Structure 1
Amino acid sequence: MLNLLRKIIKTGCVTEPYDGGIVPPRFRGEVSWTESQCQDCQRCQSACPTGAIGFSGGKLTIDHTACTFCGQCVAACEHSALAHTGEYQLAEMKNQLSGKIRSILKRSLHIRHVDAGSCNACDWEMTALTNPIYDLQQYGIDFVPSPRHADMLMITGVVTRNLTQALTMTYEATPAPKLVMAVGACAASGKVYGNSYAIRGAVDTIVPVDIYVPGCPPRPAALIYGLLLALDRLGEARK
């Protein structure tokens, strides 16, 4: 016991403050486009495995819900018009939540995780949220074992046919008001695995989705950003 106390005192606090701006050196975040360097060859569009890149009116568009940050578009561009940045705050809210829901959930948030057919990469990142580094509980947010105790469903993976019923039943068992977060490119877009007899598609084809967090997988800080965005607590977290 004494050795454990000595270790705790020596180690000190390891929890990272949110939005500290620290990302790993090789981290691949949002893809940036430099228009002046683009030659409109559209090789990046052909190289994208999920069809996240498009061209409209001479402008490059990126669907970040489908982007897996694989880097193939960057590698395919011979003119260095594309580059990965360290930006991970890419979560988006489909609809503005009502003031009533915000006022209720702002105090705390209980989450039920639903694996609708993932490869488990997103699940590993979600597990990291509860470790001492990210310490999700410092924001009044925690995971619960039952949807009947949850305020939000965090759904990972493209929805498979075998898990469609489990997803809909879990959604119905969650009391209102409730939120749904699609975690990762599979859940947000359904495009990563393409079309198959075993796949139903993105989460929003089965149940309503409020927050989309892109990535393959999204890093824990990106998940925290999505959660705080839903709770309208970003200002508090950055103080």
Structure 2
Amino acid sequence: MGVTSRPNPEPPVSLPDPTLLPEPKKLGVLSRLAPEPMKVVLNWGRRYSLWVFNFGLACCAIEFIAASMARHDFIRLGVIPFAPGPRQADLMVVSGTVTDKMAPAVKRLYEQMPEPKYVISFGACSNCGGPYWDSYSVTKGVDQIIPVDVYVPGCPPRPEALLQGILKLQEKIARESLAERYSTQDTARPSTAALRSGLVAAPKAPGEERE
């Protein structure tokens, strides 16, 4: 019998050290539920399911109604008009002149809306007071009492302007991070408590005397 030599064993292949994937970033108030990739899904669902609470105070409210009718039909953009109340709404559209007497009601209804919530200031009167900016009884812009996301200029704006404002808001929601929105940094969205105004006072408790 012939003697055969055994083949030389192949040298062991050195495998690279395993690389650990970075921990996914978290989203603010949803840090225990939603990692960073879910931000796209959450924002997509949020921007196309806006339930609108129209706070109509003057003539601009008529243009809001026109935008919700069949000719313009902003429901096709994922906006549901005429929420039953602020507790069911995602978006408040303030249209018309905000008077000092009405300012506490605007702020109270905004505070009743669940988070996340958005505000569109629709028309010159709600933006800055409009033609009545120098009146003793007019609030010089609704942003003095509540945070505003989108301003729609005009006196009154056309319904197409409101549609453009809604599209701008949806673009903002699409790239929004809840961690940035509700962080404690200076760039965070201001709360209603940070918007101080001598025109808005806390309501009197039952039994307290009014000044």
**TM-score interval, smaller chain:** 0.5 to 0.7
Aligned to 2:142: 203
**What corresponds to 1:145 in structure 2?**
84
8 Å CA contact 1:102–1:232 kept in 2: the answer is no
Of structures 1 and 2, the one with the larger relative CO (CA 8 A, separation 6+) is 1
Structural mapping, 1:212-223, within 5 Å = 212-223=151-162
Residue by residue over 1:79-110, the C-alpha shift from the partner in whole angstroms, topping out at 9 and shown as x without a partner, is xxxxxxxxxxxxxxxxxxx9797344223111
Q: Secondary structure at the match of 1:199?
A: coil
Higher deviation after alignment, 188-197 or 206-215:
188-197
Provide the secondary structure at the position in 2 that maps to 1:232.
helix
Please show how residues 183-198 of structure 1 align to structure 2 within 5 Å.
183-198=122-137
Q: Which residue identity is paired with 2:150?
A: I
Whichever of the two has the greater Rg, that structure is: 2
Residue 109, structure 1, aligned to residue 50, structure 2? yes
Matched, 1:133 2:74: no
2:107 alignment partner AA: T
The verdict on how the C-alpha distance between 1:203 and 1:99 changes in structure 2, with shifts beyond 3 A counting, is farther
More strand by share: 1
Deviation at 1:140, TM superposition (A): 1.7
Q: Percent identity?
A: 36
Deviation at residue 171 of structure 1 after TM alignment: 0.4
Please identify, of 153-162 and 193-202, the stretch whose mean Cα deviation from structure 2 is larger.
Answer: 193-202
Which residue number in structure 2 is paired with residue 90 of structure 1? none
Measure, in 1, the Cα distance between the counterparts of 2:122 and 2:95: 5
> Structure 1 residue runs of 4+, over 4 Å off?
98-101
**TM-score (normalised: structure 2):** 0.58
Corresponding residue SS for 1:180 = strand
Which of these residues, 112, 124, 131, is aligned with residue 173 of structure 1? 112
5+ long unaligned stretches in structure 2: 1-38, 173-211
**Cα shift readout 1:166-189 (whole Å, capped 9, x = no counterpart):** 101110011111111000011112
Instruction: Give the corresponding residue for 2:100.
Output: 161
Task: Tell me which amino acid in the other structure corresponds to 1:132.
Answer: A
Shift of 1:132: 1.3
